[in-house]
Structure 1
Amino acid sequence: MLHSLEISELIVVCHHAIADGISGAYLIRDILLALAVPSVILQPLPMPRSLEELMLGKADATLPDCPVALQTSDFKPPETSSLSRLLAGSLTPETTSRLISRCRQEQTSVHAAICAAFLLAIVRQSDSKQEQTLKCLTPINLQKRFISVTDAQFSLCLTAAMTLHALTPDTNVWAVARSVKQQLNPAMETEQVMTAIQQLQAWMSENPSATEVWQGFIEQYGCDIVVTNLGRLAIPQQFGQLHLRGIYGPSVMPSRDDGRLLGVATVG
């Protein structure tokens, strides 16, 4: 907690093996509630269910079992040589409203527009005027697909979809935004989401080594930018005398030196 008389910054750090961005937002909510309204008794959350348990009855195919005995290994992921940097910013409610309106007019989504803007920013930072193909990774929240709003859990419950874009500095941002949305739409269908999970589960059931898992992760999810958007969070802004002005994140430590991640959250 970075505290001052009028405003404070609450920094929450979780290991990604046990929590996703939505879980972090719920944790912030509960911390603020406990601080501002100590008379409220927060009930312990149940043990989170695995994706296999959540998908029972949801998928037609039977998922293979995970290996009983995992391979042991001294493998360590390569260390990055650069320091991570975190920049935070926000849009005013008025700007947000105008952005939503323009996205509707352009037949795209706010998330796609954000992806497009930052993809073009990467291209325009380059001295080259030649066409570049960039990859953008979008995490997909699975909690709302498998868990009711009142049964939300603190866990890692997501998958991801990749979009590819051939860009030049002069490419129109709204054309890119429409391309992002068009590529994401089929990838976010429940059937496609479950197929991706089943393929990953089938691969893990073969008991790959730690090195193979790391290489597979890089091959599957290596990209030029990750845009993780929590959407409009269903949490209050007022906690007793405390007011939640904004949530900056989520942010994840990159797995490579030139990794870029943009975290987006909307409150209010």
Structure 2
Amino acid sequence: NMKNGSSEDNHLGRKVIAVERYFYKRPNPNVIMIGRFQGVISEEQLKAAISKVRKRHPLLNARIRQEKNGDAYFITESVGEPWVQVIDFDSIGVDDLLGRAVKELRTRHSTEHGPLIRFVLFRTQNGFDLLVNSHHMICDGLSLYYLIRDIFVHLSTPDRKIVPLPEPVIVENNLPPSATLKNYYNKLILRFNKSWAKKGIIFDEADDIRLHDKFWKMEEGLNITHWNLSERQTSSLIQRCRKENISVHSALCTAFLLAQIEVQGKEPYLRNISMPVSIRNRLAAPVGEAFGLYFSSFKIKFKRPKEKSFWANALAVHEHIQQQITDKNVFTVYMQLKDLHPTLVDSISFTRYGELEDKLAKRLLRLEGDYTLNTGLDLSNLGVLEMPDNRGLLILKDIIGPCCYNEFQEKYLGVVTLGKMYFTVTYREPVVSKSVVESLKKVAMKHLGEAVGW
């Protein structure tokens, strides 16, 4: 339960759980989504709508307090209004928005002062675009869509009452019985914690700022590419996938696997696709539309597609994914992090970028495995989302995102389906060029088009 508290108070609010902790000290924890709208609003109307959704989603009001023992809590005491910047344009194009999204990916949220979310409103004479930039500790891709939709609802119907959501059960207390770890791993964690606790290492906000600045000096050249299918193309793809008994996600994986081989060659890492998986309905008690971090991610290694027909390849991909997506695999990362000492989880980022020299932290980093480019694509498909009521004066036209950046994944592809299917790729130019990303888009869409018959 998040509540106000003083430093003498033992229960400052809800404790930050380990998977949130994983993003707490990362230098690149931002997730961005942009809603594009037709219609006119004022800054006051937007702020009033944001104020209402803050009552529905408590994490929008949070900052982090870290205790002397390293435990961290979400607290709401002394947290200001979210930062809202308003920019007026005669006209604005997608490239302008993508350029700002790149800048926002590099912008640091102060976890100590909060809030962990910020907004940019771009206005033209007959439309507006709302960019939401949130710290990954408090959100996932679906959370950002629900938030944009809720803001839209309160802008469209200002008299509408706020519907607070029931407080979700904390994920770590809500794991399904099938989420287990091998016994040797539990023993290893106990040994790690015992050795680590003696060191008394803790990272403060000054350490975070130093790490953030160092990271973004190294990681220049971010870029984002965005496109969409038409409504007709989208519905024909969904219908054909149903007919073939495979998921749209499997068809997208197949199209991009084939495109990567054709455009980029046979490098082994290109056969690895990372998949964020929503855990909202996999938990013992589902969390519905709560705003928070409710996803898991794991990497699947695919064989090179060998069949002549796209759908035969897609079926093989689909079956491989289904075998891998078990509760045990989905919750492995939760189980591995759950009992680790909190500041040992923090040490992963500081060790990775040379800000901490410690044998134990290095060993953990090796176990965790992410210290070199190892994945061709992270395919974050939010699925078919429910369109808000578009019959009023305001109309939601387009969604860009989710955008986020992970240096161990060559390309991050966010896919959202709202009538049309929207694709947004975040990548870094020194690693993969814009022309390669454009070719991948072209070839992947050609495979889908030929398979569906656009």
CA contact (8 A) 1:136 1:227 kept: yes
The residue aligned with 1:267 is 418
CA contact (8 A) 1:106 1:174 kept: yes
**More relative contact order, 1 or 2 (CA 8 Å, 6+ apart):** 1
The residue aligned with 2:291 is 154
1:140 to 270, 277, 282: 277
Give unpaired runs (5+ residues) of structure 2: 1-120, 352-360, 420-454
The residue aligned with 1:82 is 220
The residue aligned with 1:113 is 251
1:99 to 237, 242, 247: 237
CA contact (8 A) 1:109 1:177 kept: no
CA separation in 1, counterparts of 2:257 and 2:334? 27
One-letter code of the match for 2:235? S
Q: What is the Cα deviation at residue 135 of structure 1?
A: 0.4
- The C-alpha deviation readout for 1:177-197, integer Å capped at 9, x for no partner, is 323322221332334434553
Residue 246 in 1 paired to residue 398 in 2?
A: yes
1:26 is paired with a residue whose SS is helix
Corresponding pairs, count: 262
Q: What is the Cα deviation at residue 10 of structure 1?
A: 1.8
Label 1:237 to 1:115 Cα distance change in 2 as closer, same or farther (>3 A): farther
CA contact (8 A) 2:179 2:327 kept: no
CA contact (8 A) 2:380 2:412 kept: yes
CA contact (8 A) 2:378 2:411 kept: yes
Give unpaired runs (5+ residues) of structure 1: none
- The C-alpha deviation readout for 1:124-158, integer Å capped at 9, x for no partner, is 223x5x57552001100011223547x42110111
CA separation in 1, counterparts of 2:163 and 2:243? 44
2:143 to 23, 39, 45: 23
Residue 59 in 1 paired to residue 210 in 2?
A: no
TM-score, with structure 1 as normaliser: 0.79
Label 1:227 to 1:61 Cα distance change in 2 as closer, same or farther (>3 A): closer
The residue aligned with 1:38 is 158
Please state which structure has a larger fraction of its residues in strand.
2
Please state which structure has a larger fraction of its residues in helix.
2
CA separation in 2, counterparts of 1:171 and 1:85? 34
Residues 163-242 of structure 1 mapped to structure 2, 5 A cutoff: 163-167=300-304, 173-195=310-332, 197-202=334-339, 207=344, 209-210=347-348, 211=351, 212=361, 216=368, 218=370, 222-238=374-390, 240-242=392-394
The residue aligned with 2:117 is none
CA separation in 1, counterparts of 2:369 and 2:149? 32
CA separation in 2, counterparts of 1:192 and 1:35? 41
1:88 is paired with a residue whose SS is strand
* Aligned alpha-carbon RMSD (Å): 3.6
CA separation in 2, counterparts of 1:18 and 1:186? 30
1:10 is paired with a residue whose SS is strand
CA separation in 1, counterparts of 2:343 and 2:177? 21
TM-score, with structure 2 as normaliser: 0.50
- The C-alpha deviation readout for 1:160-213, integer Å capped at 9, x for no partner, is 232212438997543443233222213323344345532343556894533246
Q: What is the Cα deviation at residue 72 of structure 1?
A: 1.9
CA contact (8 A) 2:180 2:332 kept: no
One-letter code of the match for 2:314? A
